[in-house]
């Protein structure tokens, strides 16, 4: 293996090939569920260097795990324990190559942190509309490789819909320049869409041309209390009818999810009394703040009158709006503080969510008395983070070891029965491979394997993830 390490040093420069010392920042995933051992951590600065790394690894029979900000939640971006995989970190490739304001597009390298991309767009008065709680550390390459969703999918779509073109280093070590800023290009198979969401299993995304939008004139945020999931869905329908495309966020938070935030982040203000469900709504307005407020006021009064909500608060300032978002974004962190839990990032038709929640809650509580259900997510997109925490007083690690498989069976069978998906936005990674094999149609799986075989016949790219 030292011949491989020497060749990698020749490809990217010796200081950018790490083999000794504490490499846990690259080898352990964000949730600390996966701990691997890399043969080397390699940090290229250009697409040409990435290509040289892939050719070198292929020649030595080594596999490559691409990594961006290492915030992925399914164990797809850390090496396995074999000590034979090369960890390819894209974080040195973090330049904004250009902003084309007239074409509402910008081109950035894959290692750009999402927040830096948003800020670069904002500096031109434009909006890059991908937003998620990990935006301070996740990278655009990782966002595209996982087809990330986040809090504005309702209005702007997920990462796939915000991407116009890609630069990719193929598994064979060739650079494909597909950095098109075109909105229309019907010239055959869509290679861009093949690499988006492929979780590093087909090639390495090295740059992307992204779709921008005009910045809204004003943003308005509100929090509303609902008694049931049915009421949350009714509020969504009303908000869509009244706000149309202005509705840019619709997040639900179950009572237990918010109680964890209260427990672990007591300094965060809660503007409303506890209720079974809280809904965070965001409206982006092209006219003015006054216009946004008037629309929100009308919506919330109508919802109160109909009994859909029992209370509501509209943020009076940017600071208050941030605090409301902070409540929502603190849920994953509060959960992590509480201990390991069994995560389910699921998608369902919005109309079937109330029935899914009622049935699955009841089944889980019957099977595991006292189990605590952390339910929150992007209801506007039909995406729930339906997580299961050990009963109070039971060690989280023991509960996971003994019951994870049975809990997953209950949840995923219910998702399947309600016409849903076992992965809405986090991907498959190492975590959900078995479930994918179980719930994806055999025809679809066969086609996916054919694509993998065609684009990466030597299985250089991220083996044993996704497929």
Interface ranges with ligand FAD (CB under 6 A): 30, 65-73, 76-77, 90, 110, 132-134, 138-139, 141-143, 145-146, 148-150, 199-200, 204-205, 332, 425-426, 429, 462, 465
Measure the CA dihedral 307/309/315/320, to 10°. Answer: 160
Pick between residue 203 and residue 285 the one whose CB is nearest to ligand FAD: 203
CA 354 to the chain's CA centroid: 23
Task: Kindly report the length of the chain.
Answer: 467
Q: Compute the least distance from the CB of residue 426 to ligand FAD, in Å.
A: 5
Q: Compute the least distance from the CB of residue 85 to ligand FAD, in Å.
A: 11
Q: Compute the least distance from the CB of residue 128 to ligand FAD, in Å.
A: 14
Q: Compute the least distance from the CB of residue 116 to ligand FAD, in Å.
A: 12
Q: Compute the least distance from the CB of residue 460 to ligand FAD, in Å.
A: 12
Residue 429 — left, alpha, or beta (φ > 0 → left; ψ -120 to 50 → alpha)? left
Pick between residue 39 and residue 204 the one whose CB is nearest to ligand FAD: 204
Contact predicate 387/343, CB 8 Å: yes
Q: Which residue is nearest to ligand FAD (CB)?
A: 142
Q: Compute the least distance from the CB of residue 140 to ligand FAD, in Å.
A: 8
Pick between residue 229 and residue 429 the one whose CB is nearest to ligand FAD: 429
CA–CA–CA angle 451, 452, 455 (5° rounding): 80
- CA–CA separation, 277 vs 297, rounded Å? 20
Pick between residue 231 and residue 258 the one whose CB is nearest to ligand FAD: 258
- DSSP character at residue 86: E
Phi then psi dihedrals of residue 279, to 5 deg: -120, 130
Pick between residue 145 and residue 348 the one whose CB is nearest to ligand FAD: 145
Contact predicate 217/180, CB 8 Å: no
- CA–CA separation, 191 vs 161, rounded Å? 14
Pick between residue 153 and residue 300 the one whose CB is nearest to ligand FAD: 153
Residue 406 — left, alpha, or beta (φ > 0 → left; ψ -120 to 50 → alpha)? alpha
Encoding tokens for residue 341?
A: 């839990």
Q: Compute the least distance from the CB of residue 92 to ligand FAD, in Å.
A: 12
Pick between residue 374 and residue 410 the one whose CB is nearest to ligand FAD: 374
- DSSP character at residue 391: P
- DSSP character at residue 84: -
């Amino acid at each position: 293996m030292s011949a491989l390490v020497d060749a990698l040093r020749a490809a990217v420069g010796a200081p950018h090939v790490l083999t000794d010392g504490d490499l846990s920042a690259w080898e352990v995933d964000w949730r600390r569920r996966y701990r691997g051992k890399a043969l080397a951590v390699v940090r290229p600065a250009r697409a040409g260097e990435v290509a040289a790394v892939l050719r070198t690894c292929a020649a030595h029979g080594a596999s490559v795990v691409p990594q961006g900000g290492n915030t992925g939640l399914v164990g797809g971006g850390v090496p396995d324990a074999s000590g034979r995989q090369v960890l390819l970190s894209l974080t040195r490739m973090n330049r904004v190559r250009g902003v084309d304001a007239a074409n509402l597009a910008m081109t950035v390298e894959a290692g750009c942190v999402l927040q830096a991309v948003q800020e670069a767009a904002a500096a031109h008065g434009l909006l890059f509309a991908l937003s998620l709680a990990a935006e301070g550390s996740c990278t655009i390459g990782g966002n595209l490789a996982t087809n990330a969703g986040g809090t504005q999918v309702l209005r702007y779509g997920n990462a796939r819909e915000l991407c116009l073109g890609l630069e990719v280093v193929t598994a064979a070590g060739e650079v494909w320049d597909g950095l098109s800023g075109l909105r229309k290009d019907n010239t055959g198979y869509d290679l861009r869409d093949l690499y988006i969401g492929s979780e590093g299993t087909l090639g390495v995304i090295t740059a992307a041309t992204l779709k921008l939008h005009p910045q809204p004139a004003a943003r308005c945020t509100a929090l509303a209390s609902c008694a049931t999931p049915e009421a949350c869905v009714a509020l969504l329908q009303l908000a869509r009818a009244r706000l149309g495309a202005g509705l840019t966020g619709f997040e639900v938070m179950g009572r237990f999810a918010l109680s964890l935030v209260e427990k672990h982040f007591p300094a965060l203000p809660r503007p409303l009394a506890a209720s079974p469900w809280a809904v965070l709504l965001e409206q982006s307005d092209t006219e003015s703040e006054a216009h946004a407020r008037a629309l929100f006021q009308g919506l919330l009064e109508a919802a109160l009158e109909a009994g859909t909500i029992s209370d509501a608060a509209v943020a009076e300032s940017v600071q208050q709006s941030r605090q409301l978002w902070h409540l929502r974004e603190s849920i994953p962190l509060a959960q992590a503080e509480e201990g390991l839990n069994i995560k389910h990032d699921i998608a369902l038709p919005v109309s079937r969510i109330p029935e899914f929640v009622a049935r699955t809650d009841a089944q889980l509580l019957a099977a595991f008395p006292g189990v605590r259900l952390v339910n929150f997510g992007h209801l506007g997109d039909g995406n729930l983070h339906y997580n299961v925490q050990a009963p109070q007083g039971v060690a989280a690690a023991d509960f996971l070891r003994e019951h994870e498989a049975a809990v997953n069976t209950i949840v995923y069978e219910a998702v399947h029965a309600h016409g849903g998906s076992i992965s809405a936005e986090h991907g498959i990674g190492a975590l959900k491979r078995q479930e994918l094999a179980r719930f994806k149609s055999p025809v679809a799986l066969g086609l996916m394997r054919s694509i993998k075989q065609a684009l990466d016949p030597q299985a250089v790219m991220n083996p044993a993830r996704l497929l």
